[in-house]
Structure 1
Amino acid sequence: MPDDSPGAGALLIIDMINRLDFAGGEALLRAAAAAGERILSLREQASAAGVPVIYVNDNHGDWHEDRAAVVAKATEADCPGRALSRRLAPRDEDFFVMKPQFSGFYTTNLPAILPRLGVRRLVLTGIAADICVLFTAADAHMREYDLWVPADAVGSEDRQRTGWALDIMARSMKADIRPTTDLRLTDWLARA
Protein backbone atom coordinates (compact mmCIF):
# COMPACT_ATOMS: atom_id res chain seq x y z
CA MET A 1 0.00 0.00 0.00
CA PRO A 2 1.45 3.43 -0.93
CA ASP A 3 2.72 5.64 1.85
CA ASP A 4 1.13 9.10 1.68
CA SER A 5 3.57 10.78 4.07
CA PRO A 6 5.64 13.68 2.72
CA GLY A 7 8.85 11.69 3.01
CA ALA A 8 7.77 8.47 1.27
CA GLY A 9 10.95 7.08 -0.19
CA ALA A 10 12.70 4.05 -1.62
CA LEU A 11 16.24 2.72 -1.51
CA LEU A 12 17.67 1.86 -4.94
CA ILE A 13 20.64 -0.53 -5.09
CA ILE A 14 22.15 -0.15 -8.54
CA ASP A 15 24.21 -2.89 -10.27
CA MET A 16 25.63 -4.40 -7.08
CA ILE A 17 24.71 -7.91 -8.22
CA ASN A 18 27.55 -8.11 -10.66
CA ARG A 19 30.14 -10.57 -11.93
CA LEU A 20 32.71 -7.76 -12.22
CA ASP A 21 34.63 -9.90 -14.71
CA PHE A 22 35.42 -7.18 -17.22
CA ALA A 23 38.24 -4.71 -17.88
CA GLY A 24 38.24 -2.31 -14.92
CA GLY A 25 36.24 -4.77 -12.82
CA GLU A 26 39.02 -5.21 -10.26
CA ALA A 27 39.13 -1.48 -9.48
CA LEU A 28 35.34 -1.34 -9.45
CA LEU A 29 35.23 -4.30 -7.05
CA ARG A 30 37.34 -2.39 -4.51
CA ALA A 31 34.97 0.58 -4.69
CA ALA A 32 31.88 -1.65 -4.59
CA ALA A 33 33.16 -3.57 -1.58
CA ALA A 34 33.76 -0.31 0.31
CA ALA A 35 30.25 0.89 -0.55
CA GLY A 36 28.71 -2.50 0.18
CA GLU A 37 28.81 -2.23 3.97
CA ARG A 38 27.09 1.16 3.84
CA ILE A 39 24.47 -0.20 1.46
CA LEU A 40 23.75 -3.12 3.79
CA SER A 41 23.31 -0.68 6.66
CA LEU A 42 20.91 1.42 4.56
CA ARG A 43 19.02 -1.70 3.55
CA GLU A 44 18.52 -2.61 7.22
CA GLN A 45 17.43 0.96 8.03
CA ALA A 46 14.99 0.86 5.10
CA SER A 47 13.49 -2.44 6.23
CA ALA A 48 13.10 -1.18 9.81
CA ALA A 49 11.37 1.98 8.53
CA GLY A 50 9.09 0.19 6.05
CA VAL A 51 10.89 1.77 3.10
CA PRO A 52 10.91 -0.34 -0.10
CA VAL A 53 14.25 -1.68 -1.30
CA ILE A 54 14.55 -1.87 -5.08
CA TYR A 55 17.46 -3.52 -6.83
CA VAL A 56 18.05 -1.98 -10.24
CA ASN A 57 20.41 -4.26 -12.10
CA ASP A 58 21.93 -4.51 -15.54
CA ASN A 59 20.75 -7.44 -17.62
CA HIS A 60 24.26 -7.75 -19.13
CA GLY A 61 22.75 -7.99 -22.60
CA ASP A 62 20.89 -11.21 -21.88
CA TRP A 63 17.19 -10.67 -22.48
CA HIS A 64 16.28 -14.14 -21.24
CA GLU A 65 17.58 -13.66 -17.70
CA ASP A 66 15.42 -13.21 -14.63
CA ARG A 67 16.29 -12.23 -11.05
CA ALA A 68 17.34 -15.76 -10.04
CA ALA A 69 19.56 -16.20 -13.10
CA VAL A 70 21.30 -12.85 -12.61
CA VAL A 71 22.04 -13.65 -8.97
CA ALA A 72 23.18 -17.19 -9.85
CA LYS A 73 25.59 -15.97 -12.53
CA ALA A 74 27.01 -13.24 -10.25
CA THR A 75 27.69 -15.74 -7.47
CA GLU A 76 29.41 -18.47 -9.50
CA ALA A 77 32.73 -19.68 -8.11
CA ASP A 78 34.83 -18.07 -10.86
CA CYS A 79 33.32 -14.57 -10.53
CA PRO A 80 35.44 -11.80 -9.03
CA GLY A 81 32.25 -10.21 -7.65
CA ARG A 82 30.81 -13.40 -6.14
CA ALA A 83 31.42 -12.63 -2.44
CA LEU A 84 29.94 -9.15 -2.74
CA SER A 85 26.98 -10.40 -4.79
CA ARG A 86 26.28 -13.13 -2.23
CA ARG A 87 26.44 -10.65 0.65
CA LEU A 88 24.16 -8.13 -1.07
CA ALA A 89 21.80 -10.61 -2.74
CA PRO A 90 18.20 -9.39 -2.79
CA ARG A 91 15.86 -10.81 -0.19
CA ASP A 92 12.42 -12.18 -1.01
CA GLU A 93 10.72 -8.92 0.00
CA ASP A 94 12.97 -6.74 -2.18
CA PHE A 95 11.95 -5.56 -5.63
CA PHE A 96 14.23 -6.37 -8.58
CA VAL A 97 14.20 -4.32 -11.78
CA MET A 98 16.25 -5.32 -14.83
CA LYS A 99 17.70 -2.50 -16.91
CA PRO A 100 19.17 -2.75 -20.41
CA GLN A 101 21.09 0.53 -20.31
CA PHE A 102 22.69 2.96 -17.87
CA SER A 103 19.57 4.53 -16.34
CA GLY A 104 17.30 2.58 -14.04
CA PHE A 105 14.38 4.42 -15.65
CA TYR A 106 15.16 3.67 -19.30
CA THR A 107 12.73 1.02 -20.65
CA THR A 108 12.16 -0.52 -17.20
CA ASN A 109 9.13 -0.82 -14.96
CA LEU A 110 10.68 1.48 -12.33
CA PRO A 111 8.56 4.46 -13.50
CA ALA A 112 5.45 2.34 -12.85
CA ILE A 113 6.56 0.86 -9.52
CA LEU A 114 7.56 4.09 -7.76
CA PRO A 115 4.19 5.90 -8.04
CA ARG A 116 2.34 2.73 -7.01
CA LEU A 117 4.45 2.70 -3.85
CA GLY A 118 3.83 6.41 -3.25
CA VAL A 119 7.54 7.16 -3.58
CA ARG A 120 8.69 10.74 -4.04
CA ARG A 121 12.19 10.48 -2.58
CA LEU A 122 14.99 8.19 -3.69
CA VAL A 123 18.22 7.05 -2.08
CA LEU A 124 20.58 5.97 -4.85
CA THR A 125 23.43 3.59 -4.05
CA GLY A 126 25.69 1.29 -6.02
CA ILE A 127 28.01 1.28 -9.00
CA ALA A 128 29.23 2.92 -11.07
CA ALA A 129 28.73 6.39 -9.65
CA ASP A 130 29.93 8.04 -12.86
CA ILE A 131 27.75 5.97 -15.17
CA CYS A 132 24.65 4.08 -14.00
CA VAL A 133 24.11 5.95 -10.73
CA LEU A 134 24.62 9.29 -12.51
CA PHE A 135 22.22 8.44 -15.37
CA THR A 136 19.61 7.12 -12.95
CA ALA A 137 19.95 10.29 -10.86
CA ALA A 138 19.49 12.47 -13.95
CA ASP A 139 16.32 10.64 -14.95
CA ALA A 140 15.02 10.74 -11.36
CA HIS A 141 15.72 14.48 -11.17
CA MET A 142 13.83 15.09 -14.42
CA ARG A 143 10.89 13.26 -12.85
CA GLU A 144 11.15 15.57 -9.80
CA TYR A 145 12.25 12.98 -7.24
CA ASP A 146 14.12 14.28 -4.20
CA LEU A 147 17.54 12.58 -4.14
CA TRP A 148 20.08 11.42 -1.62
CA VAL A 149 23.21 9.83 -3.08
CA PRO A 150 25.36 8.98 -0.06
CA ALA A 151 28.99 9.55 -1.05
CA ASP A 152 30.11 6.45 0.86
CA ALA A 153 27.48 4.16 -0.70
CA VAL A 154 28.53 4.60 -4.33
CA GLY A 155 31.73 3.88 -6.21
CA SER A 156 33.47 3.96 -9.56
CA GLU A 157 36.67 2.53 -11.01
CA ASP A 158 38.38 5.79 -10.05
CA ARG A 159 37.85 7.96 -6.95
CA GLN A 160 38.24 11.14 -9.00
CA ARG A 161 35.42 10.06 -11.29
CA THR A 162 33.25 9.25 -8.28
CA GLY A 163 33.89 12.75 -6.91
CA TRP A 164 33.15 14.30 -10.28
CA ALA A 165 29.84 12.41 -10.54
CA LEU A 166 28.82 13.32 -6.99
CA ASP A 167 29.58 16.97 -7.70
CA ILE A 168 27.36 16.90 -10.80
CA MET A 169 24.53 15.23 -8.89
CA ALA A 170 24.79 17.75 -6.05
CA ARG A 171 25.04 20.84 -8.24
CA SER A 172 22.84 19.95 -11.20
CA MET A 173 20.31 17.59 -9.62
CA LYS A 174 20.11 19.05 -6.11
CA ALA A 175 21.09 15.66 -4.65
CA ASP A 176 22.12 15.45 -1.03
CA ILE A 177 25.49 13.67 -1.10
CA ARG A 178 26.24 13.52 2.62
CA PRO A 179 27.70 10.14 3.59
CA THR A 180 25.81 7.66 5.73
CA THR A 181 28.14 8.53 8.61
CA ASP A 182 26.58 12.02 8.66
CA LEU A 183 22.94 11.19 7.92
CA ARG A 184 20.54 8.37 8.73
CA LEU A 185 17.82 7.28 6.33
CA THR A 186 14.97 8.17 8.70
CA ASP A 187 16.40 11.65 9.28
CA TRP A 188 16.66 12.29 5.54
CA LEU A 189 13.11 11.05 4.97
CA ALA A 190 11.79 13.24 7.83
CA ARG A 191 13.39 16.34 6.32
CA ALA A 192 10.86 18.85 5.00
Structure 2
Amino acid sequence: MLWDQSALMIIDMQNDFVLPEAPLCIEGAAATLPRIRELLDAFRSRGLPVVHVIRHHRADGVDAEGIREGLFRQGAGFAVPGTKGAEIVDELKPLEDEFVIIKRRFSAFMQTELDFILRRMGIRRLVVCGTQWPVCIRTTIFDALALGYDVISIVDATSARSEDVAAANIRDIAAMGVSCMDVSRFLGPRS
Protein backbone atom coordinates (compact mmCIF):
# COMPACT_ATOMS: atom_id res chain seq x y z
CA MET A 1 0.00 0.00 0.00
CA LEU A 2 2.75 2.50 0.93
CA TRP A 3 4.48 1.81 -2.38
CA ASP A 4 1.43 2.30 -4.64
CA GLN A 5 1.69 5.44 -6.76
CA SER A 6 4.66 6.62 -4.65
CA ALA A 7 7.80 8.53 -5.50
CA LEU A 8 10.87 9.17 -3.35
CA MET A 9 11.94 12.81 -3.04
CA ILE A 10 15.47 13.47 -1.82
CA ILE A 11 15.88 17.17 -1.09
CA ASP A 12 19.08 19.24 -1.18
CA MET A 13 21.59 16.49 -0.48
CA GLN A 14 24.32 18.49 -2.18
CA ASN A 15 27.93 18.89 -1.11
CA ASP A 16 27.35 22.53 -0.05
CA PHE A 17 24.80 21.39 2.54
CA VAL A 18 26.18 17.99 3.59
CA LEU A 19 29.98 18.05 3.68
CA PRO A 20 31.44 19.27 7.00
CA GLU A 21 33.63 21.97 5.41
CA ALA A 22 30.79 23.30 3.22
CA PRO A 23 29.59 26.91 3.54
CA LEU A 24 26.03 25.95 4.55
CA CYS A 25 26.68 22.56 6.15
CA ILE A 26 23.64 21.30 8.04
CA GLU A 27 24.83 19.49 11.13
CA GLY A 28 23.38 16.01 10.98
CA ALA A 29 22.90 15.90 7.20
CA ALA A 30 25.85 13.56 6.65
CA ALA A 31 24.57 11.24 9.39
CA THR A 32 21.35 10.66 7.40
CA LEU A 33 23.17 9.37 4.32
CA PRO A 34 22.97 5.64 5.21
CA ARG A 35 19.22 5.85 5.84
CA ILE A 36 18.57 7.86 2.69
CA ARG A 37 20.61 5.29 0.79
CA GLU A 38 18.41 2.49 2.21
CA LEU A 39 15.32 4.29 0.89
CA LEU A 40 16.97 4.97 -2.44
CA ASP A 41 17.93 1.32 -2.87
CA ALA A 42 14.39 0.21 -1.93
CA PHE A 43 12.78 2.50 -4.51
CA ARG A 44 15.30 1.54 -7.18
CA SER A 45 14.84 -2.19 -6.57
CA ARG A 46 11.07 -1.78 -7.03
CA GLY A 47 11.46 0.34 -10.17
CA LEU A 48 9.67 3.28 -8.53
CA PRO A 49 10.35 6.93 -9.35
CA VAL A 50 13.10 8.82 -7.57
CA VAL A 51 13.23 12.60 -7.65
CA HIS A 52 16.40 14.40 -6.58
CA VAL A 53 15.61 18.02 -5.75
CA ILE A 54 18.57 20.40 -5.76
CA ARG A 55 19.29 24.10 -5.61
CA HIS A 56 21.13 26.09 -8.21
CA HIS A 57 21.99 29.76 -7.96
CA ARG A 58 23.77 32.21 -10.21
CA ALA A 59 27.30 33.06 -9.07
CA ASP A 60 26.18 36.63 -8.25
CA GLY A 61 23.29 35.35 -6.10
CA VAL A 62 20.66 37.53 -7.76
CA ASP A 63 18.29 34.55 -7.83
CA ALA A 64 18.81 33.57 -4.16
CA GLU A 65 16.32 34.41 -1.41
CA GLY A 66 16.79 37.91 -0.03
CA ILE A 67 17.94 36.54 3.31
CA ARG A 68 20.81 34.74 1.57
CA GLU A 69 21.80 37.32 -1.00
CA GLY A 70 24.37 38.73 1.40
CA LEU A 71 26.27 35.45 1.43
CA PHE A 72 26.99 35.86 -2.26
CA ARG A 73 28.11 39.47 -1.79
CA GLN A 74 30.51 38.24 0.91
CA GLY A 75 31.91 35.61 -1.44
CA ALA A 76 30.22 32.71 0.34
CA GLY A 77 27.86 31.74 -2.44
CA PHE A 78 26.53 28.22 -2.66
CA ALA A 79 24.98 25.71 -5.07
CA VAL A 80 26.45 27.43 -8.11
CA PRO A 81 26.21 25.13 -11.16
CA GLY A 82 29.58 23.78 -12.27
CA THR A 83 31.03 23.84 -8.75
CA LYS A 84 31.67 20.75 -6.62
CA GLY A 85 29.38 22.21 -3.95
CA ALA A 86 26.35 22.14 -6.24
CA GLU A 87 26.74 18.43 -6.95
CA ILE A 88 24.69 15.74 -5.23
CA VAL A 89 26.82 13.85 -2.69
CA ASP A 90 28.58 10.80 -4.10
CA GLU A 91 26.57 8.34 -2.01
CA LEU A 92 23.30 9.43 -3.64
CA LYS A 93 24.27 10.18 -7.25
CA PRO A 94 21.22 9.94 -9.53
CA LEU A 95 20.89 7.22 -12.11
CA GLU A 96 20.26 8.22 -15.71
CA ASP A 97 16.50 7.58 -15.51
CA GLU A 98 15.97 9.45 -12.24
CA PHE A 99 14.61 12.97 -12.14
CA VAL A 100 16.67 15.97 -11.05
CA ILE A 101 14.53 19.01 -10.29
CA ILE A 102 16.33 22.32 -9.95
CA LYS A 103 14.82 24.89 -7.62
CA ARG A 104 15.81 28.39 -6.60
CA ARG A 105 13.57 28.73 -3.57
CA PHE A 106 12.79 26.64 -0.51
CA SER A 107 9.90 24.67 -2.00
CA ALA A 108 10.57 22.04 -4.64
CA PHE A 109 7.24 23.03 -6.23
CA MET A 110 7.79 26.78 -6.59
CA GLN A 111 8.31 27.63 -10.26
CA THR A 112 9.53 24.13 -11.17
CA GLU A 113 8.08 21.36 -13.33
CA LEU A 114 7.77 18.99 -10.34
CA ASP A 115 3.97 18.92 -10.02
CA PHE A 116 3.55 18.42 -13.77
CA ILE A 117 5.99 15.49 -13.84
CA LEU A 118 4.47 13.80 -10.77
CA ARG A 119 0.94 14.06 -12.17
CA ARG A 120 2.04 12.71 -15.57
CA MET A 121 3.47 9.67 -13.79
CA GLY A 122 0.30 9.17 -11.72
CA ILE A 123 2.07 9.82 -8.42
CA ARG A 124 -0.24 10.41 -5.47
CA ARG A 125 2.13 9.84 -2.55
CA LEU A 126 5.49 11.47 -1.84
CA VAL A 127 8.06 9.93 0.46
CA VAL A 128 10.22 12.87 1.54
CA CYS A 129 13.72 12.99 3.04
CA GLY A 130 16.85 15.15 2.88
CA THR A 131 17.81 18.47 4.43
CA GLN A 132 16.75 20.65 6.12
CA TRP A 133 13.57 20.60 8.19
CA PRO A 134 12.49 24.18 8.83
CA VAL A 135 12.89 25.45 5.29
CA CYS A 136 13.17 23.23 2.22
CA ILE A 137 11.65 20.07 3.69
CA ARG A 138 8.80 21.87 5.43
CA THR A 139 7.85 24.20 2.57
CA THR A 140 7.94 21.33 0.07
CA ILE A 141 5.69 19.24 2.33
CA PHE A 142 3.27 22.16 2.80
CA ASP A 143 3.04 22.70 -0.95
CA ALA A 144 2.61 18.97 -1.58
CA LEU A 145 -0.31 18.89 0.86
CA ALA A 146 -1.84 21.99 -0.73
CA LEU A 147 -1.59 20.29 -4.14
CA GLY A 148 -3.37 17.18 -2.86
CA TYR A 149 -0.52 14.71 -2.44
CA ASP A 150 -0.31 12.24 0.43
CA VAL A 151 3.01 12.75 2.19
CA ILE A 152 5.17 10.41 4.22
CA SER A 153 8.04 12.11 5.99
CA ILE A 154 10.97 9.82 6.82
CA VAL A 155 12.15 11.44 10.02
CA ASP A 156 15.46 9.64 10.53
CA ALA A 157 16.46 10.35 6.91
CA THR A 158 15.88 14.09 7.32
CA SER A 159 18.10 16.60 9.10
CA ALA A 160 18.01 19.96 10.83
CA ARG A 161 20.58 22.06 12.63
CA SER A 162 19.38 20.69 15.99
CA GLU A 163 17.18 17.99 17.49
CA ASP A 164 14.84 20.66 18.89
CA VAL A 165 14.25 22.13 15.45
CA ALA A 166 13.63 18.68 13.98
CA ALA A 167 11.20 17.72 16.77
CA ALA A 168 9.20 20.96 16.43
CA ASN A 169 8.84 20.50 12.68
CA ILE A 170 7.88 16.84 12.98
CA ARG A 171 5.19 17.77 15.52
CA ASP A 172 3.82 20.49 13.22
CA ILE A 173 3.64 18.41 10.06
CA ALA A 174 2.21 15.39 11.92
CA ALA A 175 -0.58 17.65 13.21
CA MET A 176 -1.34 18.49 9.57
CA GLY A 177 -1.85 14.83 8.69
CA VAL A 178 1.58 13.92 7.38
CA SER A 179 2.65 10.35 8.20
CA CYS A 180 5.94 10.62 10.07
CA MET A 181 7.96 7.42 10.36
CA ASP A 182 11.49 6.12 10.38
CA VAL A 183 13.10 4.12 7.60
CA SER A 184 12.65 0.74 9.28
CA ARG A 185 8.94 1.28 9.78
CA PHE A 186 8.49 2.46 6.20
CA LEU A 187 10.43 -0.46 4.73
CA GLY A 188 8.72 -2.95 7.04
CA PRO A 189 9.93 -6.43 7.97
CA ARG A 190 12.77 -7.70 5.82
CA SER A 191 12.72 -11.23 4.55
**TM tier, shorter chain?**
0.7 to 0.9
What does residue range 23-172 of structure 1 map to in structure 2 within 5 Å?
25=25, 28=26, 30-61=27-58, 70=81, 73-74=84-85, 85-172=89-176
Q: Which amino acid aligns with 2:134?
A: D
Question: Is the 2:174–2:180 Cα contact (8 Å) retained in structure 1?
Answer: yes
RMSD across aligned positions (CA)? 2.5
> For residues 32-63 of structure 1, what are the alpha-carbon distances to aligned partners after superposition, in whole Å with 9 as ceiling and x for unaligned?
11211111110111011121000011113457
Q: Which amino acid aligns with 2:183?
A: T
Q: Distance in 1 between matches of 2:81 and 2:93?
A: 10
> Greater share of strand residues, 1 or 2?
2
Partner of 1:178: 181
Deviates more, 1:53-62 or 1:101-110: 53-62
Stretches of structure 1 lacking an aligned partner (at least 5 in a row):
1-5, 64-68, 76-81, 187-192
Question: Is the 2:157–2:183 Cα contact (8 Å) retained in structure 1?
Answer: yes
Deviation of 1:73 after TM superposition, in Å, equals 2.0
Partner of 1:190: none
Question: Is the 1:12–1:125 Cα contact (8 Å) retained in structure 2?
Answer: yes
Q: 1:7 to 1:15 in 2, by over 3 A?
A: same
Question: Is the 1:35–1:155 Cα contact (8 Å) retained in structure 2?
Answer: yes
Deviates more, 1:13-22 or 1:160-169: 13-22
Partner of 1:19: 16
Q: 1:70 to 1:44 in 2, by over 3 A?
A: farther
Deviation of 1:9 after TM superposition, in Å, equals 0.8
Overall identity of the aligned pairs, in % = 28
Q: 1:164 to 1:119 in 2, by over 3 A?
A: same
Q: Distance in 2 between matches of 1:88 and 1:164?
A: 27
Stretches of structure 2 lacking an aligned partner (at least 5 in a row):
64-79
Q: Which amino acid aligns with 2:8?
A: L
Question: Is the 1:45–1:185 Cα contact (8 Å) retained in structure 2?
Answer: no
Q: 1:152 to 1:70 in 2, by over 3 A?
A: farther
Q: Which amino acid aligns with 1:143?
A: L
Provide TM-score, normalisation by structure 2. Answer: 0.78
Deviation of 1:72 after TM superposition, in Å, equals 5.2
Q: 1:40 to 1:162 in 2, by over 3 A?
A: same
Matched, 1:8 2:19: no
> Greater share of helix residues, 1 or 2?
1
Q: Distance in 2 between matches of 1:104 and 1:185?
A: 28
